[in-house]
Amino acid sequence: MWLRKKDLSKEPDIPEKLRYSRYYEHDGALRAYANRAMALAFLCVPVTLLALGLAVYVRLQPATVIRVDANGEATVLGQAKPSITLVGGTESAPTDFEKRAFVRLFLERYLNFSPSNVSRNWAESLNMMSGNLRRTAYTAMQKENTIGQIEDDQTSSEFQMRSLEAAKDDPLTYTAFGVKEVHHVHEHNETIDKVVSEFQVRLVIERRSETNPSGILIGEYWERAIEGEKRDWVLQQAGLNSLR
């Protein structure tokens, strides 16, 4: 009877230190924890190497350099410009939609300006003209110092187009009517001129290219102020009857 194993559950409560399990159970648990830690360490090795490789790759990349030209256009140096695919071919004629959009864009750039953006807007407008018209317009701007006067008088212009129609006898000539509101500030005094004008634009068609995907240029441009019934009609279209 005295060789029988004692039932500890029936014994009274004893201190925890006196109820340890066998020593090899503790040793096995320690070895299991060690194996798990080793496996986790081996799993972290490839992640660490990948992070190190990405860090080295980023450090080896050249710095991004952005160049801003005189017209305010920003380009990233070292990047190839995207190529433009002309679906209709270089010989395809522009549609009436393209021609109208080109004329509208030219008038909005050329007639809307302020002292802060007149140089950029007019540079973009000159680039839309044919070579001979561009030289003529640029020479006149330099001779009259137009941009300098705009900056000195703090002149700004707001343009509202009311109609744009193609000539019946020439599909490349467009006539537009609109209202220009020109603000001048000189010696702390502001003057406002509201002019109703007729604008004549003749287009020139060239081969489509990456520099000119539309194949359209401005070949001729002029404007003149109008009075009488036609002026009243334009003002009614613009909702500016108060200008009468």
Give the model's confidence band at 40: pLDDT under 50 very low, under 70 low, under 90 confident, else very high.
confident
49 and 133 share a domain? no
Over residues 163-189, mean pLDDT: 88
Q: How much of the chain, in percent, has pLDDT values that exceed 70?
A: 70
126 and 238 share a domain? yes
237 and 149 share a domain? yes
For residue 98, is pLDDT > 60?
yes
Burial of 122 by CB count in 10 Å (0-12 exposed, 13-18 middle, 19+ buried)?
buried
For residue 84, is pLDDT > 80?
no
What is the token pair recorded at 143? 């001779």
157 and 47 share a domain? no
Give alpha helix (H) positions in 128-228. Answer: 131-144, 146-152
CATH of the domain at 146: 3.10.450.230
For residue 231, is pLDDT > 80?
no
187 and 100 share a domain? yes
| Domain count for the chain | 2
What is the token pair recorded at 194? 């509201």
125 and 183 share a domain? yes
46 and 119 share a domain? no
Give the model's confidence band at 243: pLDDT under 50 very low, under 70 low, under 90 confident, else very high.
very low
235 and 154 share a domain? yes
Q: Tell me, what's the pLDDT at 163? A: 86
Expressed as residue numbers, the domain containing 128 is 96-243
What is the token pair recorded at 204? 């020139």
Give the model's confidence band at 242: pLDDT under 50 very low, under 70 low, under 90 confident, else very high.
very low
136 and 198 share a domain? yes
Q: Tell me, what's the pLDDT at 127? A: 92
Q: Tell me, what's the pLDDT at 158? A: 92
- Is the distance from CB of 74 to CB of 66 less than 8 angstroms? yes
Residue 2 falls within a domain, yes or no? no
For residue 3, is pLDDT > 50?
no
pTM, 2 dp: 0.59
Residue 12 falls within a domain, yes or no? no
Condensed to tens digits (0 to 9), the pLDDT of residues 192-211 reads 888 888 999 999 999 888 88
Cα(218)–Cα(124) distance, integer angstroms: 12
147 and 29 share a domain? no
For residue 89, is pLDDT > 80?
no
Q: Which residue has the higher pLDDT, 154 or 70?
A: 154
